[in-house]
Chains A and B, each alone.
Chain A
Amino acid sequence: MIDSSNQDEQKKTLNLLRTAHQFFTTLFYFFIFLQLTADANIIKGALRIMKKLSVALLCLTVVLFVLSTQLPQSQQEDAHVASQEKTSDVAVLSSSVRQALAAKRDATPLGASREEELNEAEFRQQAYDPPLHRPKGTRRGNVHKEANRMVGEYGWVFQRYVPSKLELDFYDAVAPYARSVSWKPLIEQFRPRIEKMMRLSKGRVAPHTPFVRSDDLAVECTHYVFNKRRSSGGSANETTAVGVEPANRATCLDSTEPMDDDTFSKFEYVFRCIEEPCDPRHLINAPYRLGETHVSYIEPLVGLLRHPQVFLDDAKKRDYVENKEYMIVDKWALHHLYTRWKHPQPLRSHYFDLGASMYLSGAGGSSQVWFVGLSECMCVPFTSMRLWEAKVRPVKKLWDDVPGHLHPYYQWYNHPLSVDTRSWKNPLNHLIETVNPGEPVFMKVDFDALRLERVIIDTILERQDLLSGLIDELFFEHHVVLGGMTFIWEAKTIDRNATARESIDLFVALRNLGIRAHPWV
């Protein structure tokens, strides 16, 4: 919780600054008035002093003005955090509700029978409750119990996450350094392997500079989606051997270089019946065999969980701290997982931004424009963007910055989000309510409220009964005790109980659920 006495002190300082600013401004105008009206011959000496005083007063008022405009920003941020912290208390309360619901769920053997057990009154009541707060409910506009649209479908399903040897070795080696400031021996120990990783990941990682959408992109994506993707199953060996298929060759982020299993971690997928019962006759024309596997690679969880240069090179640290050119986003999965492989294309794709800032600016650079470019490069351009930003932003600038063609898809919530599972201001409720199974989802969690971010992540981990398979790519900045990051993270934003190892554990937990979780900048 935010210290309330600290807030009072800030408020007092602000009031003092404002009063002083007003007083000196008035005095300044008074001196100017005197100089203009007074008879120069009579008070010649006094005029000289007044001129000097006027200049000094002008400077003073400018300084005071700047100070008084700076202070409210920080206050506002604190107020946001405070309001968020308040809702987190509710979230804690709601955990008891969750437990009660879980107990109720556990009392019934299967999800299907649970649904049937709900009586009509419960069912009606749940229609307008947020999804996270109901065991299994309906959607707005759909008053019937929703059928699982994956039943009877064959598709690509996440099987397991396999951390690379590099990731495992680093996890062991970082233990003695976890709370240490200097990581020099560790850096030297891993330098060759991490440099190799950087070399190999070229052409596979999303570039840091915002993507520029070209006219050719639509042509490329048409090519990718139709001509290449659908024939990708023709050669099973190619898909399983290196994780890169020829389908990717002609489009954005489509390196065909093989990846090194020792260096890069991987996701394994299998082609099978998604939800029984399935009819094997549906597989007759399918380009994949039952039990066929696919491997997709991802950056290993090593170093400072940022761009490797931040870990390797102290001198370049500041240049690379916001650099995003280390994350491997999986184009194959975005077009093949679940039943995506057989649809002409995924028409809807979603972006959830928790801590959105503005379209062209933000604390960590312009992430929105980066994500939009990335989705276009991946041939899944966002058709729904939901953005939460607690700090009040100028409306005119906001809409002037957002390109017109994104307006129909841009849903801007300029109010603090909630982590309470009972609240419709909880983005995860929006996720469950609006995303259909199989639609690609990108989510960024970075609103710099430590505990609340963690509640969101924990909810994702805990509520897999509702959130399973809904998030494809997750981007999350985890502030933990990391010797090399103290130069940028404020002490109050760091989780003192967690170190690099806990952070890796958290990302691995997410990856074990099939979510491609990336440490964010």
Chain B
Amino acid sequence: MCTVALVCAVAVAVVMLSKRDAEKFFRVATLAAQDEARLQAATVAPQSAEPVEQSLFSVSETAVPPRPIIDGLTPPEGHKLVREIGTAPLNRSPNSTAGKRGDFRPRSSRLHPLQGVYGWVFKRYVPSPLESEYIAATRAPDASLTALRAKFQTRLEAVVKQSAPHVLPRSHDFLSRVDDLAAACGQHRSNADVSLAGSCHDDPTVMDESLFSYFLYEFRCIEQPCAALPSSARNAIGDLHKSFIEPLVGDLKHPLAFLSASSTASHGTSRESVLIDKWALHHLLARNTIPVPHRKSHYFDVNSGVFHPDTSKSAQAWFIGVAECLCIPFTTTRLWDGFSHRLSEVWDVLPDYLHPGYQWFNFAPSGDAYSWRNPLNHLLEKVNIGDTVFVRVSSAEGTRVERKLMQLLLQRLPDLAPIIDELFLEIPLTFEQASTTTLTDKVFVADALNSFATLRAAGIRAHGW
């Protein structure tokens, strides 16, 4: 009896000891891997003496400056290489022959899906005089929050007033109206080229160009060669279309929150300043000619939290409702959240009909290019040209993942811009000029505005969140 007891005790002690040793060993191994990665980064880009964050938002309006190093482009030595057998799209070389999963076509036979097709193509982004003036003013040496408020108050109030009929309400019971919306969208789809009237949101046709920026689209051959345009076509080659968007002003949130410190609470998180372009969602490229079953609509939500049916509390519910309202109900919804949630919190509150398209990743998203946990890699892997795409990135304290993703977006604009329609990005901002050059969690507002302008100049409808 005693011998058995002794053996048990020894076994327990051995297990405890080995567990502790294993933990210690792995801690050491992880630290070593991190050190090695840092060393590797330093040897790859010895000329980059400044931290990566310093150049993050210092982007000119016309071109993305070259960056010798992207944080996380190279995987740390031994980083699960055994399992990461597929290279993530962001990490593929420009000459990579790899296609999407399941695509065995030789590179030479992978033609542009819209080759030979006429459609609406992004031509350029035209910032309003208000936007240009505001960005310049934030860079002035004597710029201060109070001075900016005083200078732009009248025009920002005019922006709020003019956009009021065209923004989607912050709190709206979209989801309870799905049946009506289905009917309205059915009507809308059948008359897609004629009018957008009849569904829950209409685009502004004319707005004050001194206040509102706009995207200019042109009707042309999307990818040469194209045959002659049939005479029955609704549009002529060279036709233009303007889609308005809220100007990049204030702190990229609701202008009233910027104007008045006291109203921050009520407007700070308001979505009522965002102009979404329904026309583009249904017309851009050749969307109005693509058969409906082939069209997909995607929603990517980084740091999403869990679903809540109240649209004023849950961004997810709001976006899902908005998509229904815009007649592009999401066929896939991909959500990342690093906080641990009970399964009942996730699945029990979610409307059942959303289950088939709901992909829930309950781990922290990564901002590293090589990682398959980076939502942008999912975006590149899963989205086809012509699909509609909404991306929301909210900031999670201490992770800075939103900044890494922004950095990657700017780096890979040629790949990402053609597939993102509406981007909602939350960046903690400050009006202190020195902030971007120090490693604080906040970014100088002018740098952020410039980055947003760069995204827009590439055709992404980027909004502050």
Contact = CB atoms under 8 A, between A and B. Distances in A.
Interface of A: 52, 55-56, 58-59, 62, 120, 124-125, 127-128, 130, 139-144, 146, 149, 213, 218, 221-222, 224-226, 344-349, 379-383, 392, 395-396, 399, 403-415, 423-425, 429-430, 433-434, 436
B185 interface: yes
B86 A404 contact: yes
Contacts of A413: 347, 355
Contacts of A412: 360
Interface stretch (B279-287, B306-314, B370-378): B370-378
Contacts of B4: 59
Among A149, A408, A409, chain B packs the most CB atoms within 10 A around the CB of A408
B8 A414 contact: no
B328 interface: yes
Nearest to A224: B104
B19 to A, nearest CB: 15
B9 A408 contact: no
Interface string B304-345: 000000000000000000000001111100000000100100
Given A213-B85, A344-B109, A346-B102, A408 B2 contact: no
Contacts of B183: 120, 124
A124 B182 contact: yes
Nearest to A213: B85
Given A380-B102, A405-B86, A405-B372, A143 B109 contact: no
A392 B378 contact: no
A430 B356 contact: yes
B8 A128 contact: no
B84 interface: yes
Contact of B88 (A120, A142, A404): A404
Given A345-B104, A425-B355, 15 more contacts: A58-B5, A124-B180, A128-B182, A140-B353, A141-B329, A144-B190, A345-B105, A383-B101, A395-B340, A403-B372, A404-B373, A407-B361, A407-B372, A411-B358, A414-B343
Contacts of A404: 80, 83-84, 86, 88, 371-373
B103 interface: yes
Contact of A403 (B83, B190, B296, B361): B83
Contact of A140 (B5, B9, B190, B356): B356
B179 A403 contact: no
Nearest to A348: B102
Most chain A CB inside 10 Å of its own CB: which residue of B182, B329, B343, B355: B355
Nearest to B110: A344
Nearest to A345: B104
B141 interface: no
B94 interface: no
A429 B356 contact: yes
Contacts of A405: 84-88, 101, 372
Contact of B363 (A56, A392, A399, A409): A399
Interface residues on B, range: 35 or more
A258 B375 CA distance: 48
A141 B372 contact: no
B166 interface: no
Given A141-B328, A142-B293, A128 B179 contact: yes
Contacts of B144: none
B356 A424 contact: yes
Contacts of A406: 86
Interface in B76-108: 80, 83-88, 98, 100-106
Contacts of A408: 101, 372, 377-378, 381-382
A396 B363 contact: yes
A404 B98 CA distance: 16
A349 B12 CA distance: 48
A433 to B, nearest CB: 5
Contacts of B296: 141
A103 B121 CA distance: 51
Given A55-B5, A412-B360, A345 B329 contact: no
A433 B352 CA distance: 13
Interface string B6-20: 101100100000000
A55 to B, nearest CB: 4
B23 to A, nearest CB: 15
B292 A142 contact: yes
